[in-house]
Amino acid sequence: MTSNNYDAIIIGGGHNGLVAAAYLARAGKKVVVLERRHIVGGAAVTEEIFPGYKFTEFSYVVSLLRPEIIRDLELPKHGLKILPLPSTFTPMENGDYLASWDDHDLTRREIYRHSPLDAEAYDEYARVMARAAKAIKPIINLIPPDPSSLHPRDLFNLLKLGQYAASLSEKELYMIAKLVTQSSADMLEEWFETDALKGTKAASGIIGTFLGPRSPGTAYVLLHHYMGEIDGAFRAWGFAKGGSGGVSGAIANAARALGVEIRVNSPVKQVKVKNGRAAGVVLENGDEIDSKVVLSAADPKRTFIQFVEPKHFPDEFVTAIQNFRVRGSSGKVNIALSRLPRFTALPDEPALYRGAVSISPSIDYIERAYDDAKYGQISRRPYLDMIFPSMIDPDMAPPGQHVLSCFVQYAPYDVEGGWDDEKRNQLGEAVISTIEQYAPDIRECIVGMQVISPKDIEAIAGITGGNIFHGELLLHQIFFLRPVPQWADFRTPLKGYYFGASGAHPGGGVMGAAGMLAAKEMLKDGF
Amino acid sequence: MFNLKTTPFHERTSVLCQPQNWRKWAGYFVAGSYEHTLDSEYWAIRNAAALIDVTPLIKYIIKGKDAAALLHRVTTRDIYKMKVEQVYYTGWCDDEGKMIDDGTVSRLDDSTFRLTAAEPNLRWLTMNAVGMDVSITEVTDEIATLSFQGPNTRKVLNLVCEKPVDELKYFRLMTNAIKGAQVTISRTGYTGDLGYEIWMDNNDALKVWDTLMEAGADYGIAPVGILAMDMARVEAGLFMLDVDYTSTTHAWIEAQKSSPFELGLDWTVALDKPGYFVGRRALEREKKEGSAWKMVGLEVDWDGMERVYKQVGLPPQIPGMAVRASLPVMVGNVQVGYASTSSWSPLLKKYIALAHLQRPYYELGTAVRMEITVEHHRQHAPAKVVKLPFYEPEWKKR
């Protein structure tokens, strides 16, 4: 007999929703998670699209998952294993390659081969970025204060932020000022001369945005990706055992162990509002569930425009949400392989297949890919970030066979003519023919292929616009501006209704921070 | 297979390295030791002739009309005073007067210098060379280097070199030939003993190695790894980057940085030299105001240590090698500094350490206590601040 009365309802069983649910249950609350699909995980799911081959369907690497969440929810006990992703390999257009490892000396030797100056700059750059990340990181766990508000909570948080800013050295402040205003191309050109190095670094500055490496503000996105690298032992990018579904699975297990009820196949139609307060939800099937509070872990558009009638919000707020940029710019191609393809540039070194393979030979290459997308086209030669999950976790594919996960950018949500099977084929073909330039035998290895456009991300994972961060990490959409000014503290203009997902501070990347912080704010308010 | 480099001596050293304890050094593998215990390697340095492969030492050739000007600007020494075939030991600093790295500068001819460094410095040198007529070329991978250390080394070199080395003075260099192989020999080293460093083309590496090993056989020559050298360098009061101090380029916080004065390098800071050099203003200020820290030698009082061990019924037990672990140094119950490398000195029969102490505890003769671990418990052994180096044989400079 399932109850229809809870302390808290969580809309959306993605990793943030599950994290929030677990934290609330941990504080003794009776919590239900309502998930639209038949499985939990949202964009962090693993599915066997072809029997025996496990695809980490959307998100595919972990680095930003907050270590305190792993500790608080005892995720390792519930199955979480983050396996190392020890290298990055960038094949170059001239047949050479650039590689980097988690070993400092090996990496220096390799970059030295291309440029002795870059080999040193690489170290210094890593340190500067790590310092900037270290300087900015405390902000991630801070509730963004509204600088215009006189509310004691905002004043207190503003004071904390001020104290924090004052603790930074002048050099650090200048560095941060530069990072938030520069384009990643401009910044990287100050450091390096090797095209493949600049291209590969620049790539992390455009992921999930509808910007090119020469667009201002992309240097910050680059830094965002460095956040995961400064927690000592936790520093590196990793691949979760079982794919990203392994992360969601562990959080779901932890949540269940804490007493959370998870209902799949339960799409929410609307949030019930009683006396100006959120009071529960109505499901698509008409069922009603009551609760004292509701947290939406969906994207901002769904949270504020679809689930709640606009009349419950101030006009300005609704307009601001409408203006929130969620332009999906990337897709995913998951491939089942009968064997590993052979990258011609790659020396005979199977170890490199355990790391990432980046198709990012230069900044110009990526900027050109962006040029196509700017005018509504799929990049003819897209940026690809590939991993072979089965090389990291052998259980991802039948023995001797493999899976390949290709993140592909740019694939604009608003592609000219709209997304259909033909466009999807075009995206798949752009990816395969791009890989083919470096691994000519790729086609021979393909057993099955899944092409995911931003439209599919929207349809399957339920993210409006198909943006992997639920909203671009642009400077005007982060911190106290995320999702909209004055409402960055996980509360909403509707009492009892909270918002804690990637579209909230501090943004996406399978961090779980938004879910955790939102839960903590809800508990502070009491219910 | 991707792997680190091996040196041009690897064909010989790999056969000799019994314990297979290869150590990483600046992107190379070198032998940690050649025998299973360090004793005979250490004594080869102090009593005979030790042949040490130091090829990974990072080396730059700095050449051009402004080569001297660049090094004058970057280092703390007065390079304009330097004569051809002279060698300077020096540190170099950032503009806050904190150490980036240290090494030797050799003036090969009027406009050509060789700089050695522990870490890559090409970027820093290039940044400082803007507008100068100078080329900076890293030659680490092209120039093989042997450190030949110990009281018998001069005799062995005289047997194999085209020109005798008797006249080669401390911190000078000469060009020479060994069995037809052109070499540069400098009277330098990292052991504080009589010693030479031999610089040669990679292609001549094995010939030089074989010739020295053969001629040195009657003089107690032994291949020696970097672990025994580590003990000798502590006795010589010589510090090591990343062990005894942190480069400003690696430091996370200000407190991790050190000035040359704090490392006891006062004698290398030529504040009287003409013109600007990097860090000048900060170093002038520190000179005037005094340093907050100083690297000193600590000598543990053996009887005092024995008493601490005696409480648990043990004789003193310390590792027979240099230990690169930070050990707190106390006065009363207050920590006043830390030892960064400590070592047993087989020659002095003392437990010694390089330590960083705060003012005023760094004065000679100050009584302190250094942490020791006795049967899993932290204890403190009495020690006193002594002058560096701990050991300086009269033949080192003669």
**pLDDT tens, residue by residue, B324-379:** 999 999 999 999 999 999 999 999 999 999 999 999 999 999 999 999 999 999 99
Distance CA B323, CA A182 (A): 46
Domains of chain B: 5-57+140-224 (3.30.1360.120), 59-139+259-289 (3.30.70.1400), 233-258+292-398 (2.40.30.110)
How is domain A5-45+61-81+241-324+464-525 classified at the CATH fold level? Answer: FAD/NAD(P)-binding domain (3.50.50)
CB-nearest to A109 from B27, B126, B250 is B27
SS3 at position A18: helix
Mean of all residue pLDDT scores within chain A: 90
pLDDT digits (tens, 9 = 90+) for A425-470: 999 999 999 999 999 999 999 999 999 999 999 999 999 999 998 9
Distance from CA of A227 to the nearest CA of B (A): 16
| Residue at token pair 């390295």 | B17
Domain boundaries of chain A, sorted by first residue: 5-45+61-81+241-324+464-525, 108-231, 326-461
pLDDT band at A140 (very low <50, low <70, confident <90, very high): low
Interface touch A106/B24, C-beta < 8 Å: no
User: Read out DSSP for A428-467?
Assistant: HHHHHHHHHHH-TTHHHHEEEEEEE-HHHIIIII--GGG-
pTM: 0.89
Look-up of token digits 């002038």? B284
pLDDT band at A147 (very low <50, low <70, confident <90, very high): low
Task: Say whether residue A116 is in contact with chain B using an 8 A CB cutoff.
Answer: yes
On the question of pLDDT at B87 being above 90, the answer is: yes
Which residues in B lie closer than 8 A to residue A119 (C-beta atoms)?
120
What would the mean pLDDT of A83-94 be, rounded to a whole number? 91
pLDDT cut 70: percent of chain A above it: 95
Q: DSSP alpha helices (H): ranges in B188-279? A: 205-216, 226-235
Q: What pLDDT, on a 0 to 100 scale, did the predictor assign at position B384?
A: 97
Split at pLDDT 50, 70, 90, the class of A1 is very low
Q: pLDDT tens across A417-426, in order?
A: 999 999 999 9
Dist CA A51 CA B9 (whole Å): 55
pLDDT, one tens digit per residue, over A251-276 is 999 999 999 999 999 999 999 999 99
Tell me what pLDDT residue A234 has: 45
Residue A131, helix vs strand vs coil = helix
- Of B1, B120, B121, Cβ closest to residue A349: B1
Which A-chain residues 331-390 have CB contacts (< 8 A) with chain B? 347, 349, 351
Lowest mean pLDDT among A83-92, A331-340, B283-292: A83-92
Give ipTM to 2 decimals: 0.85
Asked if A109's CB is within 8 angstroms of B4's CB, the reply is: yes
Give the pLDDT confidence of A347-404 residue by residue, as tens digits: 777 788 999 999 999 999 999 999 999 999 999 999 999 999 999 999 999 999 999 9
Arithmetic mean of pLDDT over chain B: 96
Cross-chain residue pair B5–A109, CB shorter than 8 Å: yes
The chain B residue lying nearest A192, using CA atoms, is: B123
Would you list the DSSP string of A311-347?
GGS-HHHHHHHHHS-----EEEEEEEESS----TTS-
Quickly state the pLDDT bin for B192 (edges 50, 70, 90).
Answer: very high
- Report how many Cβ contacts below 8 Å link chain A to chain B: 41
| Cα–Cα dist B60/B64, whole Å | 13
Our measurement of the distance from residue B338's CA atom to the centroid of its chain's CA atoms, rounded to an integer in Å, reads 20
> Is the bond into A412 cis (omega within 30 degrees of 0)?
no
At residue A64, does pLDDT exceed 50?
Answer: yes
- Check CB contact under 8 Å for B120 and A120: yes
A122 touches chain B (CB under 8 A): no
Closest CA–CA distance from residue B201 to any residue of chain A (Å)? 20
Collect all residues from B whose CB is shorter than 8 A from any CB in A. Answer: 1-5, 24, 26-27, 120-124, 126, 138, 249-250, 252
Chain A residues close to B124, C-beta within 8 Å: 120
d(CA A435, CA B230): 50
- Judged by a CB distance cut-off of 8 A, whether residue A133 touches chain B is no
Q: Quote the pLDDT of residue A141.
A: 59
For residue A132, what pLDDT is reported? 80
| Residues B2, A117: C-beta atoms closer than 8 Å | no
Distance between A214 CA and the closest CA of chain B, angstroms: 25
Q: Which residues 6+ apart lie within 8 Å of A35 measured at CB?
A: A12, A13, A17, A262, A263, A264, A265, A266
Name the amino acid, one letter, at A324. Answer: F
